[in-house]
Amino acid sequence: MTTLVIDNVVAGYTRADMILKGVSMTADAGEIVAVLGPNGAGKSTMLKAVTGQIAVREGHVTLAGRELTGMKPREVVANGVAYVPQESNVFATMSVRENLEIGGTVDRANVRPRIDGLFARFPVLAEKRHDAARTLSGGQRQLLAMAIGMMVEPQVMLLDEPSAGLSPKAAHEMFAVIREIAASGVAIVLVEQNAFDALQIADRAYILAAGLNHAEGTGAALSADPDIRRTFLGMH
Ligand SMILES: Nc1ncnc2c1ncn2[C@@H]1O[C@H](COP(=O)(O)OP(=O)(O)OP(=O)(O)O)[C@@H](O)[C@H]1O
């Protein structure tokens, strides 16, 4: 069954200027769906519309048939959608453990077992549990940001440029973690500037341009398409 459906969404920051002019996409449980496109295409805006941070003016967002359109961000999270923003995605002066506790506030009863589960899954976070998040490496910080999202045991995880600022090695490790999260049954929507690497791990991808769907296909098909390679991947 399709997990997340984004259907013809029109949204923007002011009524006069709709950045998204009718964007549609789906993401199934266990699938990695990459969202690519040039700067300003509306990729981050699309994630903000899905999570209720900006109003959806037209169209719908549903999760397993349930309408998310019009919900407040907190309700969207409580309904199974975790969102990891590109910046300010951890509390720098708080410890790793405190960050995870905050991630669990929508479902307080399960905070302890979930933190224990995440520490077992990501030993590097367990080792640093008492350290302030600002002392983590870029890759570890991104891992913590994703783990905060995992605290709600989401059905869908929306990731905004998780590889930004990471070394190639750290980005590679982070993509491996994303794959593992998807393999556990979570639908991943992955907004990335790093289009080439995103297409390597994506089951499917959408390319947005100027607030509209421009192309879609499997990661392999889009990587092989000469026009896509030239225009969006900077390859010849
Ligand atoms: N908070 C905001 N208020 C007003 N306009 C905004 C805001 N955030 C983004 N925009 C505008 O919305 C448009 C789409 O931005 P968005 O961040 O969604 O693009 P993107 O595809 O994610 O690209 P990038 O990779 O550059 O982030 C841009 O023209 C941008 O200037």
* 101 CA from centroid of ligand 1 (Å): 30
Fold of 2-232: Rossmann fold (3.40.50)
DSSP state of 118: H
pLDDT in tens, 153-163: 999 999 999 99
List pLDDT tens digits, range 120-159.
999 999 999 999 999 999 999 999 999 999 999 999 999 9
Q: In angstroms, what is the span from residue 72 Cα to ligand 1's centroid?
A: 20
Tokens of 106: 């929508």
Residue spans of the domains in the chain: they are: 2-232
Distance 12 CA to ligand 1 centre (A): 9
pTM (2 d.p.): 0.93
Query: Which of 5, 8, 22 shows the shortest CA–CA distance to 211?
Result: 22
Testing ligand 1's pocket by substitution, the residue of 14, 43, 212 carrying the most ligand atoms inside 8 A of its CB is 43
What's the ipTM? 0.92
- Which residues lie below 8 Å from residue 218, measured CB to CB, with a gap of 6+? 203, 204, 205
CB atoms within 10 A of CB 159: 29
Closest Cα to atom 9 of ligand 1: 45
Which ligand 1 atom is the nearest neighbour of the CA of 37? 21
Query: Angle at the Cα of 82 (from 189 to 12), degrees rounded to 5?
Result: 70
Asked whether 154 and 81 are in contact (CB, 8 A), the reply is yes
